[in-house]
Amino acid sequence: MLATMLCLSAVVLPGTALAAPPEPSTAELGDLAEDLLPLENAAVLADDARTRITAGVEPVVTEAARAKVATRMSLSEDRRFAREAAGARFDTVTTSVRVESVQGSGTSRTAEIEETSGHPVAGTKDGSSSTWRHRVSYEWTEGRWAIADITALDRNSVVSDARIAASARESTEQRRAAIVDRISTINQGIQRNLPALKAGDQAKLAGKQVETLDANPPAGGGKDVAAPSALGRTADQPMVAVPHEQVGAQGGEGPPYDYRFMVDVAVYYARDNAVPYVRDTNDCTTFISWVLWNGRYAEAGSESLIDAIWNYDDYDVWYYRCNDCSPRKTYTWGGARNWNIYENNYGNRVTFLPYLSDLLISDVFQMDFNGYGDPPNIPDHTTMVTGRGEDGWPLLSYHSNDERNKAMWDTIGSEDGPFWAIRT
């Protein structure tokens, strides 16, 4: 298997350290990481393309780091199985590394590194781009600096320490079989209904609301998360999507909703451009709430200081007060689970789709991350559909970590759900 070959071809150094090593430059430490991370990213490609891109690349790692590097490579290669099951095709990836900080002395250093990676997506101008963070430890051994450990700092990374630990509990074959089954099921639902999906995309971008006839309306009046969506429609249940003209006031907030502007805002601010609000550490739901508000979703609940002190954690309010306010916003504005509960019970402006394959441009997609630390089977992450690839797959833009037009198959390939497809 090529992933294993790539790991074994790395330069592995014994643990004997020499005294008084030369001070490593930031560029040198970055170059060591940039020899390893492109190999992980290239694991999504077919063998011939991967070989072409990685020819001659030999990351320098210590003997102690070898097993972890091999596991990271195996988990990275899971993306290839997801890509093939999705019918997606591209033959190149890009990777750049920026060293943010370096600590340590003597024969060891630790650096915080930002990785930017991406690949072409047919049907889009700029393709997919992602930002990831890593902590990399280095040791001076056998007369050179080498990677002694690398840890993904984003909890949703496919190579996080939690995923590395989980990979020991099932075989690689079982893990990849589950990925292929999940992605294939969704892909079949997409391909069977692709003309209706494309028509629905165009209707929403033209300012119409699109009703999927078997979608679930909000439950109303409680504190429950909506029922999750199944994966892909079967052949005997074609998607029926009916566009409707929007009726509403022309001023202030509320319908008609501007779905095209939602998408434009989400794409522009997903990466590289600073949002005008104060970002959260986990900013995904705050970002999507702000995007929806830009598209005329109306805030709800009293924002006065005396009221906000008491209502900011209630489920029936949804607002952002101001950057300098305290409290700044409601839990429903910034929490994935809370937002879902608000929309399922009080918002009266979304429906919950029975299948992931029903997602249209400007819809919201939520998911439960494996091992995220919260109670299981609740939304941990919120995204927006901002495009559709030529292969038919929804493209997602979101924060935490920052992604623009990432194919849904790549976002959920290693996740077993549950998932929520939400019609805006």
pLDDT in tens, 117-156: 999 888 787 889 899 999 999 999 999 999 999 999 998 8
112 sits in which H/E element: strand 108-119
Residue 8 pLDDT exceeds 50: no
- pLDDT exceeding 90 applies to what percent of the chain? 83
Query: Is the same domain home to 134 and 245?
Result: no
The mean predicted confidence, pLDDT, of the chain is: 92
Query: Is the same domain home to 135 and 210?
Result: no
Query: Is the same domain home to 263 and 320?
Result: yes
Query: Is the same domain home to 231 and 154?
Result: no
Neighbours of 367 (CB within 10 A): 26
**E strand map for 226-380:** 241-244, 351-353, 364-367
Q: Report the distance separating Cα 239 and Cα 226, nearest Å.
A: 20
Residue 156 pLDDT:
85
Q: Which amino acid is at 350?
A: V
- CA distances, 190 to each of 89, 179, 184, 239 (Å): 16, 17, 10, 10
129 sits in which H/E element: strand 128-141
Q: What is the CATH number of the domain that holds 100?
A: 3.10.450
Residue 389 structure tokens: 């690839």
418, part of any domain: yes
Ranking 38-47, 61-70, 251-260, 261-270 by mean pLDDT, the lowest is 251-260
Confidence of residue 251 (pLDDT cuts 50, 70, 90): low
* Domains held by the chain: number: 2
- CA distances, 261 to each of 40, 109, 207, 265, 382 (Å): 35, 46, 10, 6, 18
Q: Which amino acid is at 14?
A: P
Query: Is the same domain home to 199 and 146?
Result: no
Residue 370 pLDDT:
79
205, part of any domain: yes
Greatest C-alpha distance within the chain: 75
Residue 17 pLDDT:
47
Domain span at residue 198 reads 193-423
Residue 125 pLDDT:
78
- DSSP letters spanning 133-161: EEEEEEEEETTEEEEEEEEE-STT-TT-H
Confidence of residue 253 (pLDDT cuts 50, 70, 90): confident
Q: Report the distance separating Cα 224 and Cα 119, nearest Å.
A: 38
Query: Is the same domain home to 404 and 282?
Result: yes
Q: Is the dihedral of CA 400, 126, 288, 232 positive or negative?
A: negative
Q: Which amino acid is at 386?
A: T
Residue 194 structure tokens: 């692709």
Confidence of residue 10 (pLDDT cuts 50, 70, 90): low
Query: Is the same domain home to 85 and 132?
Result: yes
Q: pTM of the predicted model, to two decimals?
A: 0.91
> Of 134, 169, 204, which marks where a domain is finished?
169
Ranking 30-34, 84-88, 166-170, 342-346 by mean pLDDT, the lowest is 166-170
44 with 80: CB under 8 angstroms?
yes
Query: Is the same domain home to 340 and 417?
Result: yes
Taking only the tens place, the pLDDT of each residue in 194-239 is 999 999 999 999 999 999 999 999 998 889 999 999 999 999 999 9
286 with 333: CB under 8 angstroms?
yes
Ranking 26-40, 200-214, 244-258 by mean pLDDT, the lowest is 244-258
Residue 18 pLDDT:
45
Residue 4 pLDDT:
35
- Number of H helices and E strands in the chain, helices first, is 13, 14
Please state whether beta strands 94-103 and 108-119 pair in parallel, antiparallel, or not at all (unpaired). Answer: antiparallel
Q: What's CA 178's distance to the chain center, in Å?
A: 19
